[in-house]
Amino acid sequence: MYDNTCKFIAETFPDAIATWLLGKPVKLTQLSPKELSLEPIRADSLILQQSEDLVLHVEFQTKPSEEIFFRMADYRLRVYRRFPHKRMVQVVVYLKPSNSPLVRQDYFRIEELQATFRVIRLWEQPKEIFFQLPGLLPFAVLSNTNNRYEVLKQVATELDKIEARRDRSNLTAASQILAGLVLDEYTISEIMRRDIMRESVIYQAILREGELIGEARGEQRGEQRGEQRGKQQGILQGKQQIARNLLNSGMTVEQVMKLTDLPLEVVQSLRDENSL
């Protein structure tokens, strides 16, 4: 969910991402991996955007993984094959603090082949960077600060200043979800407005994901058993998936109960599963 939220931010506010990573508001358009004859290994974390003279490749990572190094080299070669005259900027952005040496590796090397890329560890970035443009606000709580509670309060204040309601709702939802990496759900709910989040595209995607899962499981069970109970069970599982997603986004148990109509003990059980 966290990587997918970052992808949504990058695709919805590309000027802000370009200003942050490229140092200027370059106009970028989305580049499909299919144009590179490549199916993405992880579509939820992959950002490929291009201008007339460059390609920006960004990968958001919650946890370090060795596979990212090969993936960066692989995309570099495929972009070169398709656009040999375009400059390419590649960045891996790590979201959650980690002591793993992998978060400091900025190259892929085998024998005589080496590819390098930039690495950004958000917890080392000055918070001021992310208050410069509204599209960067969700990242502020993950920046270098000793008081994430106060930073999130500052983010909430800046979000309230955004006049475009759709942008405000989407950035509020993104801020709440990413804050879940470093703050507990009660702290987040104390600061952020839930009514604004419900209007966001991210929130609707969370609900839709759960509904689709429920429908698919229900139809499968119904076909296998020929019983209405199969579909009802699928709907219940869909609600439970919605509840998991909402809990991951920082909502309280009480709020999830109201939105899903699930009993208290069920939501508490799902919350406990998420914390394992």
pLDDT band at 269 (very low <50, low <70, confident <90, very high): confident
Same domain, 118 and 13: yes
Whole-number pLDDT of residue 271: 84
Domain range for 139 is: 127-197
Higher-scoring residue by pLDDT: 46, 114: 114
Same domain, 185 and 219: no
Whole-number pLDDT of residue 272: 82
- Asked whether residue 141 carries a pLDDT value surpassing 60, the answer given is yes
Same domain, 39 and 119: yes
Same domain, 70 and 160: no
Same domain, 21 and 112: yes
Q: And the tokens for 189?
A: 């709910």
Same domain, 117 and 19: yes
Total number of domains constituting the chain: 3
Choose from 43-52, 119-128, 186-195 the range with maximum mean pLDDT.
119-128
DSSP string computed for 115-175: EE-EEEEGGGSBGGGGGSSGGGGGGGGGSB-S-HHHHHHHHHHHHHT---HHHHHHHHHHH
Nearest to 46 by CA among 16, 88, 90, 83: 90
Same domain, 181 and 209: no
- Asked whether residue 220 carries a pLDDT value surpassing 80, the answer given is no
Q: Report, as an integer, the average pLDDT of 154-166.
A: 92
Same domain, 10 and 98: yes
Nearest to 140 by CA among 200, 110, 183: 183
Whole-number pLDDT of residue 265: 87
Same domain, 95 and 153: no
Rounded mean pLDDT of the chain? 83
Q: Report, as an integer, the average pLDDT of 194-220.
A: 55
Nearest to 130 by CA among 238, 211, 17: 17
Q: Report, as an integer, the average pLDDT of 160-183.
A: 89
Q: Report, as an integer, the average pLDDT of 223-232.
A: 57
Q: How does 207-233 read in b/e, with b if 16+ C-beta sit within 10 Å? A: bebbeebbeebbeebbeeeeeeebbeb
Same domain, 70 and 58: yes
pLDDT band at 213 (very low <50, low <70, confident <90, very high): very low
Higher-scoring residue by pLDDT: 222, 74: 74
Lowest average pLDDT, out of 63-72, 180-189, 230-239, 255-264, goes to 230-239
Residue 138 · residue 171 · CB < 8 Å: yes
Domain boundary among 197, 219, 253: 197
Give the domain CATH number at 17: 3.40.1350
Same domain, 34 and 109: yes
Domain boundary among 93, 124, 155: 124
Digit-coded pLDDT (tens) for 65-91: 999 999 999 999 999 999 999 999 999
Beta bridge partners of 126: 144
- Asked whether residue 221 carries a pLDDT value surpassing 90, the answer given is no
Whole-number pLDDT of residue 60: 94
Same domain, 179 and 221: no
pLDDT band at 32 (very low <50, low <70, confident <90, very high): confident
Q: Report, as an integer, the average pLDDT of 229-252.
A: 70
Whole-number pLDDT of residue 194: 62
pLDDT band at 188 (very low <50, low <70, confident <90, very high): confident
Domain boundary among 65, 100, 124: 124
